[in-house]
Amino acid sequence: MYVEKSTNITYKSDADYIDSGSVGKINDAYKTLFQQQIWSLRSFPEGQRNCYNFNLTANRKYLIRGTFIYGNYDGLNRLPSFELHIGPNNWTSVSTLGVTNGSVHEMIHVLTQNQLQVCLVKTGETTPFISSLELRPLNSDTYATQSGSLIAVGRVYFSPTPSFLRYDEDIHDRIWVPFLDKRNSVLSTDVLVDTSNLYNVPQSLAKTAAVPANDSQPLTIAWSLDEITAQSYIYMHFAEIQNLEANETREFNITYNGGKSWFSYFRPPKFSITTVYNPTAVSSPDGKFNFTFAMTSNSTLPPLINALEIYKVLDLPHLETNQDEVVAMMNIKTTYELSKRFIWRGDPCAPQLYRWEGLNCSYPDSEPPRIISLNLTGRNLIGTITSDISKLTQMTVLDLSNNDLQGEIPLFFADMKFLKLINLSGNPNLNGSALQQKMIDNKSVILILDESHNPTPKSKSKKVLVIAIAASVAGVFALLVILAIIFFVTRRKQKTAEVPGPSLVTSGTVNSETRSSNPSIIKKERKFTYSEVLKMTNNFGRVLGKGGFGTVYHGNLDDTQVAVKMLSHSSAQGYKEFKAEVELLLRVHHRHLVGLVGYCDDGDKLALIYEYMANGDLRENMLGKRGGNVLSWETRMQIAVEAAQGLEYLHNGCRPPMVHRDVKTTNILLNERSQAKLADFGLSRSFPIDGESHVMTVVAGTPGYLDPEYYRTNWLSEKSDVYSFGVVLLEIVTNQPVIDKTREKPHITEWVGFQLTNGDIRRIVDPKLMEDYDTNGVWKVVELALACVNPSSNRRPTMPHVVMELSECLAFEIERKQGSQGMFTNTEFSPSFASGFVPKAR
């Protein structure tokens, strides 16, 4: 532990917060460039994910800052790059641009639990490392967001002096970097400014302000974000720091990005800081922000600003494992010294890619993951069975076999209501007689013990099966195989057979499955009654759209807009499709899949309640039916990427994987920010994870989008969705109908091929684009689309490949349209400012 003289900050060793990694020191030649806390670092040559663990306070807000200075600590002169995670979620990518050009990454985060993990994740060949990690509690009433955490992009004040500000001038140790350009000049005062609002900005910051260099011109501040789709929060700090005469007034309007109103008729309070910020996140289609502060007609003085903070929202899609179970697993890890036998680091269940070895977890929709099985067989466990296992209340299978556990088998096993199998064989010093008797009296479970633990005759009760076996691998394996067969046969008997019937065409959708006597949906969460549906739709007062399935109505639920799809009695979409869609959307979640708010299964009244997508579907927008604005090529590419990501998630992120079966432009919906989401999962079907890559099923889909190979053979695979998405891409490029019998080639795939015989891409591109696109980029998209619609499914690309290709096309288009950049962008660490965010003038 030591106190840094330049800041009066106390630093301590990280040894109490992490159990992996190696300590190193930067090259001596670079030490004079940095504060002392940068001289040492911790690197992680072993393991893919290594995590710091902190016991903090749930629901508290923290400023978290990681600093990374390579300093050639390993003598390899090999600049590392890796990922930084907050809990189970990706925070940011870390890269170092030079031996002494490191980086600082900072976020504001609200803890959902009393534990916090900050993890370094290896993503390539280089070794992750960290120089310092700082955590500070903040006032919970500051930096409020509607969702997610905040990543710091920039924090500037306006001063001609080059010194940055941090602790102890800023009690929260926010790093403030001075900035001034030629368009602005600086006001300053020696008068004390009241900075006691919630944000507590430094006094020296409050005593200076930027004003336009030319009083007759507005004050302008501009910046750009590397991530153009990012949602942002901006905090502006103002104080009047001049003694105004009776006839002087300072009043101004704040607008951004072409005149959008931010704040009107604003007058900074005299010698007192006030903070202005946006209560909801804002974004810019190109990632650029340009703020203008203009005098009103009442004003005699130009506008001013004292300081500015910019953050972007970090979405946290992965929920942390149930807190009690995290604590239990940490205690189990410590009790049995499992860090020597397992690489157990970070969150036990999330994300699934880094789930702890020996665990299986369930992932209920919108709820924390839960541990459902624990396998510690043959891990040299000694001592008694810890009571922390009882805190894994959702566990169904526990395997502690082939260890050296001793003592009485705990009675709490009989109270774990979901526990179905306990394997304690190979622990000759365990005594289980008391547990056996209690389990006979209370529940059915399979308990596997050594032969020496044979049950008494009374234990032959039908309520419990106690199996005495020798502790041989073959015996245990045979038992598990028998159980698996019984489970499989039982499940098969529960399913009703689907018998293929004649194809039926209704309202543009091919569907040969009809309503059966399937039971009502098992899950009860998010279920609404028909009377509640009537209330939320105001008695079906506003129609959003109609289709073969029925009518979609606008609704309001707890001040949130929703879309309510009522299933018509004459709909081709039957109860089976309704049930399939509900059960799919209750268990999957992705930012590019339309979210299910709830459902109604009330007698013959069936309804699906979705999040409201304010901008309608892609087809409407392509045709100009949503306000008449032409979708630019960049916007079309953005929509294509997002829809592809949603489809890729269904194919690879779901367990079991899903085939959508009805991908089309009318099933790609846009929200108020024109973010694309895939919708309508009534025809979705799962396909096997192992072995077979396709499944036999009756044909369903929409004419024109339907995979001809699937239509011909009834063999469904994820490549059927790839075909449909290829048709969507051709629509995006051409803005032509999929089937037009007046064309020489009615189907869009044939028409595009025919038109391209002379090699002129302009013959097929939507003329509304007015040739505002790069020809090479369009060619790449068309070639990708034609590969997707290849008649042979084996020759079509996978959706991960499609996402990658489209992302490149989007990046290329953004680069083409990139103009002059703003005041500053995401920043890199600079030795001249020992630590901080350094805005770059552009």
Q: What is the pLDDT of residues 789-831, one digit of tens each?
A: 998 888 899 998 899 889 888 888 887 876 433 343 333 333 2
Q: Taking 90 as the threshold, does the pLDDT of residue 97 lie above it?
A: no
Q: Which two structure tokens, joined as six digits, stand for 304?
A: 């001013």
pLDDT of residue 670: 93
What are the residues facing 62 on neighbouring strands? 109, 137
pLDDT at 521: 43
The reported pLDDT for the residue numbered 247 is: 94
Name the 3-class secondary structure at 409.
coil
Q: Is the pLDDT of residue 515 over 70?
A: no
Q: Which two tokens stand for residue 812?
A: 């290329």
CB 200 within 8 A of CB 171: yes
| CB-CB contact of 142 with 199 (8 Å) | yes
Q: Lowest mean pLDDT: which of 205-219, 270-284, 747-761?
A: 747-761
d(CA 373, CA 358): 8
Mean pLDDT of 372-381: 92
Count of other CB atoms within 10 angstroms of residue 656: 9
**How many H helices and E strands in the chain?**
13, 47
Q: Pairing relation of β-strands 446-449 and 465-468?
A: parallel
pLDDT of residue 92: 94
d(CA 204, CA 209): 10
* Residue 420 confidence class, pLDDT cut points 50, 70, 90: confident
Two structure tokens written together for 205 = 């910051």
Out of 83-87, 137-141, 299-303, which region has the weakest mean confidence (pLDDT)?
A: 137-141
Q: Are 387 and 393 within 8 A, CB to CB? A: no
Write out the catalytic residue numbers: 662
Residues with Cβ within 8 Å of 758's Cβ and at least 6 positions away in sequence, in order, are none
Roughly how many angstroms between the first and final C-alpha of the chain, as a whole number? 41
Give 558-591 pLDDT, tens digit per residue. Answer: 888 999 988 876 554 567 677 777 777 777 778 8
Which residues partner with 23 through β-bridges?
A: 42
Residue 30 is given by DSSP the state: G
For the whole model, what pTM was predicted? 0.57
Domains of the chain: 2-138 (2.60.120.260), 154-314 (2.60.120), 323-494 (3.80.10.10), 504-612 (3.30.200.20), 615-681+696-817 (1.10.510.10)
Of residues 777, 789, 715, 780, the one with CA closest to residue 751:
789
What residues does 696 pair with on adjacent strands?
A: 715
Which segment of 441-445, 461-465, 632-636, 765-769 scores lowest on mean pLDDT?
Answer: 461-465
The Cβ-side half-sphere exposure at 247, using a 13 Å CA radius, reads 0
Is the CB of residue 559 less than 8 Å from the CB of residue 519?
no
Which of 443, 433, 444, 419 lies closest to 468, judged by CA?
433
Q: Furthest-apart CA pair in the chain: how many Å?
A: 102
pLDDT tier at 438 (50, 70, 90 boundaries)? low
Is 565 annotated to bind a ligand? Reply is: yes
